Amino acid sequence: MKILVTGGLGFIGSHTVVELQNKGFEVVIVDNLSNASEKVIDGIIAITGKKPLFENFDLRDKPKVEDFFSRHNDIEGVIHFAASKAVGESVEKPLLYYENNLGVLTYILQELSKKGSANFIFSSSCTVYGQADKMPITEDAPVKSAESPYGNTKQVGEEIIQDTCKVTPHISAIALRYFNPFGAHPSVEIGELPSGVPQNLVPFITQTGIGLREQLSVFGDDYPTADGTCIRDYIHVVDLAKAHVAALQRLVNDENEENYEVFNLGTGTGSSVLEVIKSFERVSGKKLNYKIVRRRAGDVIEAYADTTKANAVLGWRAESTLDEAMKSAWDWEQKIRS
C-alpha cells in the first residue's frame, strides 16, 4: 500500500516514515527541504534497509500538487506533516502561515476528493486547547481562541478537514493532537535538526549541554505548580510515530465508526521545566547552565494529555520514559556535533 508523507524528511515525519516502512508500507515523501535535509534519507535507509521515493517540490504550487496526484493515482493514504511551525514567526508572518498551513491542506484534500476512497491523517497540536480548564486534557475539552496564527492554523485546519469529511464520505480522516515530542531514533541515525535557535525546550537544553548555547533561560518560576515552572507532556518521537501507523491501520482496516476522529497523543504525565532539566542532568552526567528569567507571554501554566481514547481505540500507548527519551536526544546531539 502506497502512502504519501508530506514533510517526510522533517523531525516527526522522518521517524514516521521509518515506522511505516518497518510495517511494510510503500512510502512516497514530498518535502521542499525548507526545514529539512535530503541527507535524512540516508538515515532512513540505514534503519530500514529501504529507500523511500522522494520528490522535492513546494506543495503551495497547486499545479505541481495536481500533477503529483495524477502520476501517483495509486496512493491510498496521506499523512500530512508539511507546515510552518514556529509560534513566534507566525505572529510576525501570519499570511505566510495561513498560505503554507491552510492553502496546502485544501489542495491535498481537493485531490483526495477526486479519488474513490482516501485515508488522511492530520498533524495537529494540543495548542488547540489553550489553557485547558481541567487536567489531564481529554479530546472533549473545549477548543479555545488561539494564542497565535500557528495555533489558529491547527484549529482551522481541523475544521476544514471535518467540513470536507461531512460532504465527502469516501475520505476518512484522523486528526492527531500532539503534546510535546522530542528525542531521536535509538539508532541515532535520525533526530531533531532545528534550524537556527531552537523553538522547543529539549533541543535548547541539549545544545546548551554540548556548549552550542551559553545558557538556557527558564521563563518564570512563580507559576502555581509544585516547583513554580510550567508543565508539559513530553513524548518520545518514536512513540509518536508509532501512533501514526496505528491511526493509519485503523483507517485502512475500516475500523473507524465515523469518517472524522480526533485523538490526543501524549504520555498522560506532566513534567515541569525543572524536572526536564534534571532528567538531562541525570542521563548526561552534566550540570546544565540555566537561569530563571521573567515569564514569557503566551505560555500556558500546564498541559498534559488524557490518552485514554488513543490507548483504547488505537491500541497504542507511549512506552518510553522521560529519561529514555532524553538520553536519545542527548545521544543524537553528541553525534551531530562530533
- Mean pLDDT in order along the chain per 10 residues (338 residues): 97 98 98 95 98 98 98 97 89 95 98 94 94 95 91 97 97 97 98 89 98 97 98 98 98 92 98 98 98 90 97 98 98 96
150, 223, 234, 304: which one is catalytic? 150
Grid cell 490507548 is found at 311
Active site residue 150: yes
Closest CA to 8 of 23, 25, 35: 35
Residue-by-residue DSSP string for 243-298: HHHHHHHHHHTT--SSSEEEEEES-S--EEHHHHHHHHHHHH-----EEEEPPPTT
pLDDT at 257: 83
pLDDT at 131: 87
Closest CA to 316 of 277, 270, 279, 263: 263
Instruction: State how far the Cα of 191 lies from the Cα of 333, in Å rounded to an integer.
Output: 9
Instruction: State how far the Cα of 195 lies from the Cα of 315, in Å rounded to an integer.
Output: 35
pTM, two decimal places: 0.97
pLDDT at 87: 82
pLDDT at 197: 87
pLDDT at 7: 98
Closest CA to 306 of 147, 85, 132, 79: 132
Report the DSSP beta bridge partners of residue 5: 29, 79
Secondary structure (H, E, C), 148-163: CHHHHHHHHHHHHHHH
pLDDT at 130: 86
H-state helical runs in 180-261: 201-210, 237-252
Instruction: State how far the Cα of 328 lies from the Cα of 336, in Å rounded to an integer.
Output: 12
